[in-house]
């Protein structure tokens, strides 16, 4: 992908939305009653569950990103983030965040969240279907009558005919879509925290799998820029916390601290923004692909960054719990996720190889870029 190409609008919109709440990290009880005091057991269960849920999309998303990078299927091809995209993203995210803040101040919060719920319902159904599809292929036997379908929309006629949508799917994909739609309706009607988490995990896993950094330097630029973004909007203003409290969408993982007392109807939540999962996650996935490129049996850089993420997230929770204040999780995650692998590379004498690693862009993507450039020139 060329340096001048922008991140596709849909991908950028989702990433911006993820980052609108990521700085709250594990801020607890945003929508809980002030009188309730969580028990130590309930708090430990909530924090432990958040950490576990955060690790799932990073681990499995990174593994799937290796397969995704080799895919020749257009629908499974990753979106590559370049250094220019990475440098520009914190500015775009800041503008989007402040825009949402103004929207919530001027317009009715109820109507804004209704529109956002419908938008994320569609995205959530597709994201959940995408991660369920490989599982369905393993569950159903080879003898299962799996029919092929194609959804095709074109415009024009004869030689001037142009494809707008060309989507191929089968019976298993259709079943995944139905199950995901049921979860989506459950979320729309009840806003239940379990339905929220199912969509949130799907968003995070797809993000880690399909968003690829082209090299380690780009990852450092992206994480460094969002480090500053996170710290400024949390400690410098009340914008981030205000938007997080107002924004009702499955872009954060939540777990009740009063689950032991109130069961599934619990309402005192600890939360973790998806940006705190996806942003470090795509960097960790890049390091796994670097490990694979070395053609060694070990996955040193992947595991070192994965452990660094656990350390950084644990430190975030500790500081937040100690000072009883929302923490920008990237303040702790970025130094850990960049520092640990670089230290390992320095010890192993592979620092040059680490920063010189460059991912190749799939041929189909290059052809698409050339076509878009020609259209612009015309």
13-41 pLDDT, tens per residue? 555 555 554 444 444 433 333 446 778 89
Rounded Cα gap, residues 80 and 360, in angstroms:
10
Rounded Cα gap, residues 168 and 148, in angstroms:
7
Query: Which of helix, strand or coil describes residue 255?
Result: strand
CB atoms within 10 A of CB 304: 21
Query: Residue 369: its pLDDT value, please?
Result: 45
Nearest CA to 73 out of 170, 167, 180 is that of: 167
In a domain, 73, yes or no: yes
Structure tokens belonging to residue 230: 């996170």
Query: Residue 122: its pLDDT value, please?
Result: 92
In a domain, 318, yes or no: yes
| Interval 265-302: pLDDT, tens | 888 888 898 999 999 999 999 999 999 999 888 899 99
Query: Residue 331: its pLDDT value, please?
Result: 93
Query: Which of helix, strand or coil describes residue 270?
Result: strand
Query: Residue 223: its pLDDT value, please?
Result: 96
Rounded Cα gap, residues 279 and 46, in angstroms:
22
Domain count of the fold of the chain: 1
Rounded Cα gap, residues 331 and 232, in angstroms:
10
Catalytic residue, candidates 85, 230, 258, 291:
230
The angle at the Cα of 257, spanning 251 to 260, to the nearest 5 degrees, equals 130
In a domain, 14, yes or no: no
In a domain, 142, yes or no: no
In a domain, 378, yes or no: no
Rounded Cα gap, residues 2 and 366, in angstroms:
8
In a domain, 169, yes or no: no
Catalytic residue check, 276:
yes
Phi, psi dihedral angles at 261 (to 5 degrees) = -90, -35
Q: What is the mean pLDDT of the chain?
A: 83
Higher pLDDT, 357 or 37: 357
Residue 248: left (phi > 0), alpha (psi -120 to 50), or beta?
A: beta
Query: Which of helix, strand or coil describes residue 162?
Result: strand
Query: Residue 325: its pLDDT value, please?
Result: 79
Structure tokens belonging to residue 105: 């101040």
> Residue 75 belongs to what domain range?
38-131+174-356
For residue 222, what pLDDT band results from cuts at 50, 70 and 90? very high
In a domain, 157, yes or no: no
Catalytic residue check, 258:
no
Catalytic residue, candidates 276, 291, 364, 377:
276
CB atoms within 10 A of CB 158: 5
CB of 45 closer than 8 Å to CB of 58: no
The angle at the Cα of 129, spanning 152 to 136, to the nearest 5 degrees, equals 105
Read off the pTM: 0.83
Q: Which residue has the tokens 């949390």?
A: 234
Instruction: Assess whether pLDDT exceeds 50 at residue 154.
Output: yes
Higher pLDDT, 12 or 98: 98
Rounded Cα gap, residues 116 and 114, in angstroms:
5
Instruction: Assess whether pLDDT exceeds 90 at residue 136.
Output: no
DSSP β-ladder status, 79-81 and 211-213: parallel
The angle at the Cα of 311, spanning 12 to 321, to the nearest 5 degrees, equals 90
Residue % of the chain over a pLDDT of 70: 84
In a domain, 168, yes or no: no
Top mean pLDDT of 191-205, 288-302, 351-365 is at 191-205
């Amino acid at each position: 992908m060329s340096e001048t190409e922008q991140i596709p609008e849909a991908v950028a919109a989702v990433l911006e939305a993820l980052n609108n709440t990521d700085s709250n990290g594990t801020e607890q009880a945003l929508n809980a009653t002030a009188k309730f005091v969580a028990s130590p057991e309930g708090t430990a269960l909530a924090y432990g569950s958040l950490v576990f849920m955060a690790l799932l999309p990073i681990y499995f998303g990174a593994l799937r990103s290796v397969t995704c990078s080799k895919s020749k299927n257009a629908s499974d091809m990753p979106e590559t983030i370049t250094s220019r995209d990475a440098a520009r993203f914190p500015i775009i995210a800041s503008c989007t965040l402040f825009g949402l803040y103004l929207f919530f101040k001027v317009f009715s919060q109820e109507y804004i969240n209704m529109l956002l719920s419908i938008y994320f319902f569609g995205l959530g159904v597709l994201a959940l279907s995408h991660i369920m599809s490989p599982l369905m292929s393993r569950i159903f036997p080879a003898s299962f009558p799996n029919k092929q379908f194609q959804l095709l929309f074109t415009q024009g006629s004869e030689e001037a005919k142009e494809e707008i949508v060309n989507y191929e799917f089968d019976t298993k994909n259709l079943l995944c879509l139905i199950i995901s739609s049921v979860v989506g309706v459950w979320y729309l009607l009840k806003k239940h925290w379990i339905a929220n988490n199912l969509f949130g995990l799907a968003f995070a896993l797809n993000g880690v799998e399909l968003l690829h950094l082209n090299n380690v330097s780009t990852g450092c630029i992206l994480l460094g820029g969002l480090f500053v973004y996170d710290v400024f909007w949390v400690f410098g203003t009340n914008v981030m916390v205000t938007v997080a409290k107002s924004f009702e969408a499955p872009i954060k993982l939540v777990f009740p601290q009063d689950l032991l007392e109130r069961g599934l109807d619990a309402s005192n939540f600890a939360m973790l923004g998806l940006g705190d999962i996806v942003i470090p996650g795509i960097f960790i996935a890049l390091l796994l692909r670097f490990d694979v490129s070395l053609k060694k049996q070990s996955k040193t850089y992947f595991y070192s960054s994965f452990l660094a993420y656990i350390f950084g997230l644990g430190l975030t929770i500790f500081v937040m719990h100690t000072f009883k204040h929302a923490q920008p999780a990237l303040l702790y995650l970025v130094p850990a996720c960049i520092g640990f692998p670089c230290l390992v590379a320095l010890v192993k004498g592979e620092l040059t190889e680490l920063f010189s690693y460059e991912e190749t862009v799939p041929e189909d993507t290059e052809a698409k870029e050339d076509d878009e450039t020609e259209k612009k020139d015309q």
